[in-house]
């Protein structure tokens, strides 16, 4: 049972987030909080098979609920999944930071502790003048870890610097407030090994904890998770050697965020170079505030490549903990999404027609309280957060045009 110190000022009792293999014995991993609640990711044979909002008064009660959730067999590992597959494919992991996130050390510890040892970790310091990043990582001496400077502000610029520094055929990206599972790199590498036609892999992102009501609201708004089914997207409609299903194509596909998220993504390094890396008119730190990851996924797909969503590649993420940060985050997501759609609209007449055809459905998705995007929000979900995101969609097109002009001016100056 939780102590009184778990309680926060609004009466919310923090909810732990646990991963439990149903083959394992019941232990403290499954202990619920003072209100009898626990978020559980259940795995069967190493594959994530159920997400359970367990409500029980004991660990044994939680275990019973979890076992019942996986018993229907609705989620099965694809034929290409082999638990603990070994691979020698070398991977570069890029983490970009301003040095303001103290949990950066936890992220790097998790990467240094990966079961896959054929890797290098490139930390891109996007505010080198502050000196914060080297100070944070001063105690983490390891030959696989290096810090590179990128004084040009913006996540896309930082990610492109990490890409330029990547020495290995696979480049993966996560954030400085994320915790990759111990087998994250090995799992990503195995997907690329199993099917040489795969150009991009995204994975499952779940909360590291739900310590505040605001973090719960982020999950109600959809969070980062894209489900537990392994799927792929490719224009030729063929399958993959992984045994994945064809991915869902919603009413705004492919101009939506359904492929995955930037805190858990990997690419063949050569393929990402060929696409030109990340668009520096997009992303956090730019006028558009986001969208560079969605743009990259779409670029792979639209160029005829294959994107795979593989939920066995697990990252846990520390969500924004306070109300104002959530409102700001969702506003940024709206700006970034609209900016990416604007980029697609301007890319070619044929693509512009495709965007226009999907626009009515996209608006319904955004505005209808019963839509897949909104139906998970509780009555307590802050209306100002929803409004902020919608305002972001209005701001996004203009923000992209201004950001694109700014990037072109800077490129012209740099070329002189």
SS (H, E, C) 6-26: HCCCCCCCCECEEEEECCCCC
Q: Please write down the HEC assignment for all residues of 99-147.
A: CCCCCHHHHHHHHHCCCCCCEEEEEEECCHHHCHHHHHCCCCCCCCEEE
Split at pLDDT 50, 70, 90, the class of 397 is very high
Q: Half-sphere exposure of residue 233, counting CA atoms within 13 Å on the CB side?
A: 23
* Residue 2: per-residue pLDDT: 36
pLDDT of 168 above 90: yes
pLDDT digits (tens, 9 = 90+) for 285-296: 999 999 999 999
- Rounded distance between C-alpha atoms, residue 323 and residue 336, angstroms: 20
Range of weakest confidence among 26-30, 69-73, 102-106: 69-73
Q: Half-sphere exposure of residue 100, counting CA atoms within 13 Å on the CB side?
A: 3
pLDDT of 54 above 60: yes
Please, what are the domains in the chain?
Answer: 4-71 (no CATH), 91-322 (3.90.550.10), 325-415 (no CATH)
Sheet containing 17-21, strands listed edge to edge, beginning at the edge strand earlier in sequence: 17-21, 37-44, 47-55
Asked, as a colleague might, if the bond just before 3 is cis with ω within 30 of 0, I would say no
The alpha carbon torsion through 227, 231, 233, 237 (nearest 10 deg) reads -140
The pLDDT > 90 percentage for the chain reads 92
CA distances from 377 to 50, 221, 279, 368, 372 (A): 21, 6, 32, 12, 10
pLDDT of 91 above 70: yes
Q: pLDDT: is 3 or 333 the higher one?
A: 333
401 CB contacts (<8 Å, ≥6 apart)?
342
pLDDT of 410 above 70: yes
Q: Half-sphere exposure of residue 307, counting CA atoms within 13 Å on the CB side?
A: 28
Please name the helix (run of DSSP H) or strand (run of DSSP E) that holds residue 94, with its range, or none: strand 91-97
Residue with tokens 């797909």: 301
Split at pLDDT 50, 70, 90, the class of 333 is very high
Split at pLDDT 50, 70, 90, the class of 4 is very low
pLDDT of 1 above 80: no
Mean pLDDT of 38-42: 98
Q: pLDDT: is 85 or 361 the higher one?
A: 361
- Rounded distance between C-alpha atoms, residue 189 and residue 175, angstroms: 19
Question: 3-state class of 221 per DSSP?
Answer: coil
Sign for the pseudo-dihedral over CA of 168, 172, 173, 178 = negative
pLDDT digits (tens, 9 = 90+) for 208-264: 999 999 999 999 999 999 999 999 999 999 999 999 999 999 999 999 989 999 999
382 CB contacts (<8 Å, ≥6 apart)?
217, 323, 326, 327
In this prediction the pTM is: 0.95
Cβ contact 259:298 at 8 Å:
yes
The pLDDT > 70 percentage for the chain reads 98
Cβ contact 207:17 at 8 Å:
yes
Q: Show the DSSP H helices in 166-223 as ranges.
A: 184-194, 213-220
Question: 3-state class of 98 per DSSP?
Answer: coil
Mean pLDDT of 309-327: 97
Split at pLDDT 50, 70, 90, the class of 9 is low
Q: Show the DSSP H helices in 195-277 as ranges.
A: 213-220, 269-274
pLDDT digits (tens, 9 = 90+) for 173-220: 999 999 999 999 999 999 999 999 999 999 999 999 999 999 999 999
């Amino acid at each position: 049972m939780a102590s009184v110190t778990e309680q926060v000022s609004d009466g919310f009792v923090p909810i732990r987030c646990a991963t439990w293999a149903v083959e394992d014995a019941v232990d403290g991993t499954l202990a619920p909080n003072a209100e009898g609640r626990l978020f559980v990711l259940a795995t069967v044979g190493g594959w994530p098979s159920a997400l359970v909002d367990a409500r029980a008064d004991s660990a044994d009660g939680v275990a019973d609920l979890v076992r019942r959730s996986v018993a229907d067999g609705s989620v099965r590992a694809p034929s290409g999944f082999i638990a603990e597959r070994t691979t020698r494919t070398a991977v570069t992991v890029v983490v970009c930071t301003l040095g303001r996130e103290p949990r950066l050390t936890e992220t790097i510890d998790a990467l240094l502790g990966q079961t896959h040892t054929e890797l290098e970790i490139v930390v891109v310091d996007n505010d080198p003048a502050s000196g914060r990043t080297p100070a944070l990582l001063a105690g983490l001496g390891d030959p696989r870890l290096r810090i590179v400077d990128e004084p040009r502000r913006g996540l896309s610029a930082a990610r492109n610097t990490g890409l330029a520094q990547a020495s290995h055929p696979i480049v993966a990206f996560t954030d400085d407030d994320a915790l990759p599972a111990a087998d994250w790199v090995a799992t990503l590498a195995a997907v690329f090994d199993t099917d040489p036609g795969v150009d991009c892999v995204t994975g499952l992102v779940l909360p590291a904890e739900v310590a505040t009501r605001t973090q719960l609201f982020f999950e109600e708004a959809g969070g980062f998770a894209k489900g537990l089914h392994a799927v792929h997207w490719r224009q030729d409609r063929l399958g993959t050697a992984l045994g994945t299903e064809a991915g869902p194509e919603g009413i705004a596909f492919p101009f939506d965020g359904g492929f995955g998220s930037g805190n858990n993504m990997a690419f063949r390094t050569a393929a990402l170079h060929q696409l030109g890396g990340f668009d520096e008119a997009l992303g956090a730190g730019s006028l558009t505030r986001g969208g560079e990851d969605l743009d990259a996924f779409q670029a792979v797909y639209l160029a005829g490549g294959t994107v795979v969503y593989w939920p066995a590649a697990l990252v846990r993420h520390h969500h924004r903990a306070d109300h104002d940060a959530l409102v700001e985050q969702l506003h940024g997501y709206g700006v970034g999404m609209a900016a990416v759609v604007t980029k697609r609209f301007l890319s070619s007449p044929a693509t512009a027609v495709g965007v226009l055809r999907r626009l009515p459905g996209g608006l319904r998705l955004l505005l209808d309280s019963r839509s897949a995007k909104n139906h998970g929000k509780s009555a307590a979900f802050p209306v100002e957060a929803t409004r902020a995101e919608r305002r972001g969609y209005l701001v996004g097109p203009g923000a992209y045009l201004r950001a694109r002009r700014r990037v072109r001016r800077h490129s012209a100056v740099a070329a002189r």
